[in-house]
Amino acid sequence: MTIDNIIQWFQSWFPVNVMVLFITSVLIAAVVIFAIMAVNALVAVYAERKISAFMQDRVGPMGQGPGLHAGKWGLLQTIADTIKLILKEDIIPKAADKKLFIIAPFIIFLGAFIALAAMPFGPYLIASDMNIGIFYILAVSSFGVIGIILAAWSSDNKWSLYGGMRSAAQIISYEIPAALSLVSVLLLTSTLSMQGIIQSQAGTVWGFLPNWNIFNNPFSFLAFFIYFIAGVAETNRTPFDIPEAESELVAGFHTEYSGMRWAFFFLSEYGNMLVVCGLTVVAFLGGWQSPIAGVMEGAWWGLFWFLTKLTATIFIMIWFRWTFPRLRVDQLMNVAWKILLPIALFNLFGVAIWTLLVG
C-alpha cells in the first residue's frame, strides 16, 4: 500500500482537496510505521534479553507475564519497562544545552523513522515506492548521527563527548564500504527502486538456488558480508559499540539521559537495526521473494517471508553482540579502511566484470 494508492482510493470515495488527502494518508502511513517501530522494539528487546540469557546460561526476565513470577517466560517484561520509563523523572542536567538536549533523541529517532518509509514489507506494503528508494534510505539513515553528536555535545559530559566523537567517526567511515557493497548490487539489478530490486531477484540461479543477489555470483556473496558487517557498525552494536562502550564510557552519548528520552534512544537503536536488516534482506536476500521460486507467493506470503528474513538477520546481530568483545577505536577504523573498503572496491570491480561477461 503506497501512499499514492491510499490517495487514489480515498479520492474515488471522497472527492476532496488533494492536499488534505495527501496529509491524511501520510499521517496514516506515519502511524503505521511508528507502530512497526514500537512493536519491533518491544519484541526485539524481549528477544535480545531472552537470547542473551540463554546464551549465557541464565534464564532472563521471568518476573512479568502470564503465569506471573517464575511462571512463564516474563512475556510482558518490555511493556513493564516501557511503563517504568514513562513514569521516570526526566532529568535535564543544569549545564546542558537545553534545546539541543531535548531535541537530540528525536533527531536520532527520525533517522530510522523516515528511512522505513521506503522499506517494502511485502509486494504491496510500502509507504512510498520511490524510484531512488535505496539511495534515499542510505541518505536518511545516516541522519541519525547528527542526533548522536547533538546529544553528546549538549549533555556537557565528557563521557558523552567521547561517545559522540567516536560515533561520528565510526558511522562516516562505515557508510563507505556499506554504500560500495550496495552499489555492486545495483549493478546487478540496474534499478534504485526497492521494489525493483526485489522483483529483479525472482526466479532461480545455478539451477536450484533462488536468484537472490547473495547467490548470484561469488562477488555479491562477499558483498553481503561486507554490507552486513558495516551495517552492524552503523547501528553501533557490538563488536562496534564503541560510542556507548559500557565498560569504557559508562553509557557513551546517552549517559545523561533518563526516562522517555532515553527510551527514544533505545527505540531508534532497534529502529536502525530494522533499517539495516531490512536493507540487507532487500538487497541480498530477495526481499519478500519466497526461497523456492513459484511456491508460497502472494501478498501475505510476501510479508511472511520478509519478516522471517528480517528476524533471522536481527537474530544474527543479537548473536554477534553476545559473543564478541569490543574493538578499539583505531582498530575499528582499521577494519573499515584497510579491510572492508579494499574488499568492497575489489568486489565492485568483480561484479562489474561479472555482469559484463555473464549476465
Partner 1 sequence: MKNYFQNIWQSITTLLIGLGITIKHMFKARKGNVTLQYPEEKWPRPERNIGFDPKNYNIIRSKLHVDIDDCIGCRKCERACPVGCIKIDALKVPKETDLGLTSSGTTKRLLISRFDIDMTECMFCNLCTYPCPEDCIFMTGGPNSEKQPLDYEYSQYDRSRLIFKFANVTKNDIRRITTAPPVQQEIL
Partner 2 sequence: MGLVHAEEMTLNIGPQHPSTHGVLRLKVKTDGEIISEITPVIGYLHRCFEKHCENLSYEQVIPFTDRCDYIAAMNNSFGYVLAVEKLMDIQVPERVEYIRVIMAEYNRIASHLLALGTFGLDVGAYTPFLYMFRDRERILDLFEITCGARLLYNYMWVGGVSHDLPLGFMEASYRFLDEFEKNINEYHNILSYNKIFIERSADVGIMPKDVAIDYGVTGPNLRGSGVKWDLRKDEPYSIYNRFKFDVPVGTGIMGSVGDCWDRYWVRAEEMQESIKIIRQALDKIPREGNVHEALPKKVRPPKGSIYFRTESPRGDLGYYIISDGTPTPLRVKMRSPAFTALSALSEIATGWMLSDVLVILGSLDIVLGEIDR
Residues that bind partner 1 (CB under 8 A): 51, 53-59, 62, 69-70, 319-320, 322-324, 339
| Shortest distance (Å) from residue 59 CB to partner 1 | 5
- Cβ distance to partner 1 smaller for residue 339 or 353: 339
Distance CA 46, CA 38 (A): 12
∠ CA(176), CA(178), CA(179), 5° rounding?
Answer: 65
Name residue 119's amino acid.
M
Residue among 328, 342, 349, 353 that touches partner 2 (CB under 8 A) = 328
Residue 292 binding: pick among partner 2, partner 1, none (C-beta 5-8 Å cut-off by kind): none
Residue in the block written with cell 579502511: 337
Binding mask 150-179 for partner 2 (x = CB under 8 A): --------x---x-----------------
C-alpha separations of 345 from 332, 339, 348, 349, 356 in Å: 18, 10, 5, 6, 17
- Cβ proximity to partner 2: between 32 and 333 the closer is 333
Torsion of CA 216, 217, 223, 228, to 10 degrees: 40
Q: How far is the CB of 323 from partner 1 (least distance, A)?
A: 5
CB 78 to partner 2: min, Å: 20
Among partner 2, partner 1, none, partner that 54 touches (CB below 5 to 8 angstroms by kind): partner 1
> In whole angstroms, what is the distance from residue 287 CA to residue 269 CA?
22
Number of residues that bind partner 2 (CB under 8 A): 26
Per the structure block, which three cell numbers stand in for 129? 515506492
Closest CA to 326 of 225, 275, 269, 252: 252
* Helix residue spans in 117-258 (DSSP H): 133-141, 144-154, 158-189, 194-199, 213-216, 218-234, 246-249
To the nearest whole angstrom, how small is the minimum distance from the Cβ of residue 72 to partner 1? Answer: 12
Q: Which of 65, 60, 85 is nearest to 77 (CA)?
A: 65
Contact of residue 62 among partner 1, partner 2, none (CB under 5-8 Å per partner type): partner 1
245 binds partner 2 (CB under 8 A): yes
The SS3 assignment for 117 reads helix
Query: Rounded to the nearest whole angstrom, what is the least distance from the CB of residue 16 to partner 2 in the complex?
Result: 56
Encoded one letter per residue, x for contact with partner 2 by CB under 8 A and - for no contact, window 274-313 reads: ----------------------------------------
- Mapping DSSP to helix (H, G, I), strand (E, B) and coil, where does residue 210 land? strand
Contact 124, 1 (CB under 8 A): yes
Contacts of 93 (CB under 8 A, 6+ apart): 101, 155, 156, 157, 256
320 binds, among partner 2, partner 1, none (CB under 5 to 8 A by kind): partner 1
How far apart, in whole angstroms, are the C-alpha atoms of residue 251 and residue 243? 8
**Residue 329 engages partner 2 in binding (rule: CB under 8 A):** yes
For partner 2, which is the closer residue by CB, 137 or 318?
A: 318
- The residue among 29 and 44 lying less far from partner 2, judged by its C-beta, is 44
> Closest approach of Cβ 322 to partner 2, in Å?
5
Q: Answer with the entry of partner 1, partner 2, none that 250 interacts with (C-beta below 5 to 8 A by kind).
A: partner 2
Distance of closest approach, residue 116 Cβ to partner 2, in angstroms? 29
Residues near partner 2, by CB under 8 A: 52, 55-58, 158, 162, 238-239, 241-242, 245-248, 250, 322-331
